[in-house]
Amino acid sequence: MILPAVRERLDRLLRHPSVDGALGELRAGAGLVGLSGLQDVAKALCAAYFTHELRRPAFFLTESNRRAEDLAESVRFFAQIFPGVTGGVAVLPAFDNLPWDAQAPHADILERRAATLYRLANGEVSLVIAPMAAALWRYQDPYVYLTLSQILAKDSEVSHDALIKHLGSIGYARTEMVDLPGQFAVRGGIIDVFSPEALRPVRIELLGDTVESVREFDPRTQRSVAPVNKTTILPLAEWSVPAPGSQEAEEWEPGRWMGGTSEAGGSALFELAESSLKPIVFLDEPLALREAGKKLQEAATENYERHGHANSPEVTHYFWSEAEWERALVKTSRVELEQLNLAQNGGQRFELSSRPSTRFHGDVAACVGDVKSQLASGGTVYLTAASLGELERYADICREYEVPYVLGETEEAAAGFTAESATESAALVLVRAPFAQGVSFPEAKVTIYGNADLFDVTPSVERPSRKIRTSGFFADFAELKPGDYVVHVDHGIGQFEGLRLIESEGRRGEFMLLRYADDARLYVPLERMDLDHSDIRRARLGSVLPDDFLLGSDLRDGRGAGMEQEVAIRQNADIVGNKRVRDFPFHRATGVDYGDVSLILCDEAMGSRFLGNGLNGKEYDNETGGNGLS
């Protein structure tokens, strides 16, 4: 927990004429205020402080998803110092594709958007960070996002069948046993559900239409852990989707992956907050935001003209036009946050001079000398660490160089070292913080060092998320059904038989079962097919396929000549698109109409294992035998 000492030592900065003046204008009802001279950490600090002081719903608009994620942790850190009235900080990511694309949005993005929209509409979020593409989206009435969630408590009333139908409609996958987020299982009156952001799944026991009990359970052992008073089942998508296999699901068009085509959303992002108070909108570099909005409109128009059908909704069905966007902004209090005062859009302008903090590259003596110099001149210094171990190291350095300090966290939070040498009146604060590069405010004599300013930190390699979401495996909601055909890049066209739980080498996992000729079976592990790795892509095509494909042979016996290369070229692309199977070279070698291929599976580095029931019952591994045939 952050201690009051961290907040108290920022008073000199918070009383700066520019900060105080901008805040005063906003309290007086100003529609536009500009604050320039800000580095990224300074922007995060000002946004959290203004949100805390004004006690209104706030939105922080950035240029892109990446920019939103980069700023989010810094804003969350300062939100601990200046907590919001209704809740914390949430990120609302933009979709990673456009409505007319053949590919569905990424499952992780769908899930995060749905959770954030629910919390925003339910009054659980004080500050939302969103890229321009998300801000320009046309949203439904807030009530819609509230109805997508399900709150269950002991003795509450809920229909057994209605609950099962609701779980399917908001993206949950029905399985025999729940062990992954986004799954649910039904055994009579007992329903197991794993909400995506919950620590554990819950077991809901119904007696008729009454909830008898709600208990958390361990997904590994399937044993109950503890009863809970109530649970909130968050949606995995921001719209209700038809049940897989239903007639309605078959009729859904690609564009409806993003909320349906019947009518356009009528709410702007700023109108989703539960509060009726005038929202605050922080504009991170307004000129860059304007350019990002322009590029989005151009990309959407080009995509619509290239991929849209005769009855596809136009761009304005999904995104606000420039004129509509400006009208929505006028209803808010805008704060333009800039490093340089370039926007010049009117309103009262203020400047808070800031600059990047000094980096010492491991020179402890130079860092301590600089800190002592600032303290001697009456300044305040924050020395931040990325971990408790680093915080303890900083405390040791301060004791060694006889520099008084105060801990910015409770001793319980900083377990592992004592605060014996801490001084309550010290102007040097030791605290953990998430940002690597810090900021200095010369006029206010306040410096906040980043956690990489003293000791160099090797940049972390960005890796795809390892969080597996079976529900998001086919995020386009028209999930595979037993009997559907798929194309595997190494083993060719097979028939989907369903999902199977298999234990191999002491590990238990869920596998996709594909059937080939002679009853040969291919087991593809779901844990290696998360969409982060571009291992699978959906391509809706035709309907009838031959049933005589031998495992692995169709790509190597002449009938499939050319397909392996064609698909391999596409396996790392963003989408496979609507390319018909007949357009692949192997079709010309057979003269067969391949109809509806549901998936193209790309198996590079997937480590798929398959059992050859019709191949002497042997077990094969991609890494040892190519196509598995010897």
164-186, pLDDT tens digit by residue?
Answer: 999 988 889 999 999 889 999 99
How far is residue 371's CA from residue 438's CA, in Å, rounded to a whole number? 14
In a domain, 26, yes or no: no
In a domain, 16, yes or no: no
In a domain, 5, yes or no: no
**Running DSSP on this structure, what letter comes out for residue 557?**
S
pLDDT of residue 117: 94
Tokens of 475: 């995020």
How far is residue 405's CA from residue 630's CA, in Å, rounded to a whole number? 69
Give the whole-number percent of the chain exceeding pLDDT 70: 72
Amino acid at 212: E
If one compares 282 and 306, the residue with the highest pLDDT of the two is 282
Same domain, 256 and 293: yes
pLDDT of residue 122: 92
Integer angstrom CA distances of residue 314 from 264, 303, 319, 468: 10, 10, 9, 34
pLDDT of residue 100: 85
Give the tens place of pLDDT for each residue, 185-227. Answer: 999 999 999 998 889 999 999 999 999 999 999 998 999 999 9
Residues in CB range of 309: below 8 A, 6 or more apart: 253
Tokens of 335: 């704060």
Same domain, 288 and 396: no
Overall pTM > 0.85: no
If one compares 344 and 159, the residue with the highest pLDDT of the two is 159
In a domain, 429, yes or no: yes
Same domain, 493 and 564: yes
CATH code, domain with 566: 2.40.10.170
Per-residue pLDDT, averaged over 288-295, amounts to: 95
Same domain, 124 and 161: no
The phi-psi region of residue 566 (left if phi > 0; otherwise alpha if psi is between -120 and 50; otherwise beta) is alpha
Q: What range does the domain containing 506 cover? A: 480-625
Same domain, 125 and 262: yes
* Among 83-87, 236-240, 375-379, 386-390, the range of highest mean pLDDT: 375-379
How far is residue 627's CA from residue 520's CA, in Å, rounded to a whole number? 13
3-class secondary structure, 350: strand
Per-residue pLDDT, averaged over 524-535, amounts to: 47
Residues 40-54 as b or e (16 or more Cβ within 10 Å = b): bbbbbbbbbbbbbeb
Q: Report how many domains make up the chain.
A: 4
Tokens of 606: 């997937």
Q: Are the C-beta atoms of 494 and 590 separated by less than 8 Å?
A: no
**614 CB burial (10 A radius; 0-12, 13-18, 19+):** middle
Same domain, 597 and 542: yes
Mean pLDDT of the chain: 77
CATH code, domain with 220: 3.30.2060.10
Amino acid at 73: E
Is residue 311 over pLDDT 60?
Answer: yes
How far is residue 628's CA from residue 630's CA, in Å, rounded to a whole number? 7
Tokens of 337: 């946050």
Number of Cβ atoms within 10 Å of the Cβ of 197: 11
Is residue 127 over pLDDT 90?
Answer: yes
pLDDT of residue 398: 92
Give the tens place of pLDDT for each residue, 134-151. Answer: 999 999 999 999 999 999
Which of 426, 449, 472 represents a domain boundary (last residue)? Answer: 449
Residues in CB range of 88: below 8 A, 6 or more apart: 76, 79, 125, 126, 127
Which of 293, 326, 351 represents a domain boundary (last residue)? Answer: 351
How far is residue 341's CA from residue 344's CA, in Å, rounded to a whole number? 7
In a domain, 20, yes or no: no
- How many helices and strands (H and E) does the chain possess? 18, 29
Is residue 567 over pLDDT 50?
Answer: no
How far is residue 613's CA from residue 423's CA, in Å, rounded to a whole number? 73
Same domain, 100 and 64: yes
pLDDT of residue 250: 56
Element (H, E) at 291: helix 286-307
Give the tens place of pLDDT for each residue, 460-507. Answer: 544 444 444 434 443 333 456 677 777 775 677 778 787 777 765 555
In a domain, 467, yes or no: no
Which of 233, 264, 282 represents a domain boundary (last residue)? Answer: 233
